[in-house]
Structure 1
């Protein structure tokens, strides 16, 4: 236990090194940075209603590996397979939004705004455009030069139980409160069958379906995702209002109508169960907690440079 705690503290300390972030970081060097990024996200959302969910998920996946350093944006090169091509990341999308924002920023103020900051700001804008809260994003992140597919396994899996989730979050300096609040990002998006097949087929030696699933909901999931289903794009929305940032997700947890084991796991700890109930009954309470935890998570940074192209190191 002591060794694990020391390891967690070392990971967090390493990722937190570097100049402190600031809300007015680009005030003099690129004063229009936020409006340029917001336009890129807004333009994308007009044509692709799934872009906000993609950007928010991309930001999480970036921050949980090496900190929020834009490493998930790098493309594979030569013998190195990058994070974005690791198994948990192959379904990430909306990279073009970051590319469009970067191109516009390089035209307005070349070599100034990091890709990691673009992604953090785009995630905030994605939430706002989906009807969620806004917040002042601390800025000044640097971009990393390392991206390995093998490290994408560090991401918390949809099959994780509460102990595994707690360990994953604590290694990044995040609490059970942060876990409960940040899980609310699952109010947006679409999930493929492969991510929850473990709950609806061959759950264990005695039953095919996870007994914690509400029966009619489980039956519907099995209709959409039959056994041995190989349809690449088959799946379901994360919740019925999957393009709107709201607190429906928490209501569904209490009704046992969520797709991931990791979502249902929030009921297995008194602390997270209490927070689920609180957020289910108050969108305002959820929004405030989400903003606080997003700022905390997105402030983990371990980069070294400002990339000219988000897909390749300088």
Structure 2
């Protein structure tokens, strides 16, 4: 059923562009065929007639081949999306079980119960497994290696920071030491990252995602990751980052007055990137990622509430300033010791 629904949605997004292209091909073939049929009436030269007819056949063949090629590319994309159904199912089951576990702990939380360090490590391990599914999904769709990361927001001295809570397991082994160092140095201020800033601050109108397929070719790309690799890691290469394309979604509850949510509430970000350029598109990757980011919101709220080291709730402030949620928020400690490494 899920596979059929995925194909149905894919067809809905492709139907009208394909029909338009088919009409264009038909118009071209008709025009060429018409010229080829009428020209002999005005030309007595057999040689010219043969040249025109040969050219007409060649144009028709090229148009048909082009239409076939577009059709195959389109169906290939659809098959790639359909092939992620198993990962979607497994991810939803992991998310369900993690949410149920944290909800059960929350029941005891009102009696002073919170997550132990061992339970926090287990939860992060589960998030890493979840991101493994996400990574494979986008790798299948784009035919490149894609990394997936959950980044959460915390407040320290009225300054907003982000840190990597979890990554897919391969990226975790590659980046865990660097992630810990970045957190210790408080290197990743939210305002130093144009993707997070545009999705969090009200000064920027966003469409619910940030997408950039050609990062190395930007004249000015604001990213604390870029400055970390250049200034802390000492990488002076032309492009030091391990990714060249990225797409980011906010993990947030949008303003919905009908359900009592008068303000947008953003607690973090889901980031997917690739070491290749030009791999993400709005038609396929953006809606899937938005669905995944939305599904993470409540389970991460539970995790935040049960983890003393994490900023509880960070609103998207209407004036662009760090919100004051009282004394607890004013002196909120950062997530010391948190590690995104997964076993």
TM-score (norm 2): 0.24
Greater relative contact order (CA < 8 Å, ≥ 6 in sequence): 1
Structure index of larger Rg: 2
Bigger proportion of residues as helix: 2
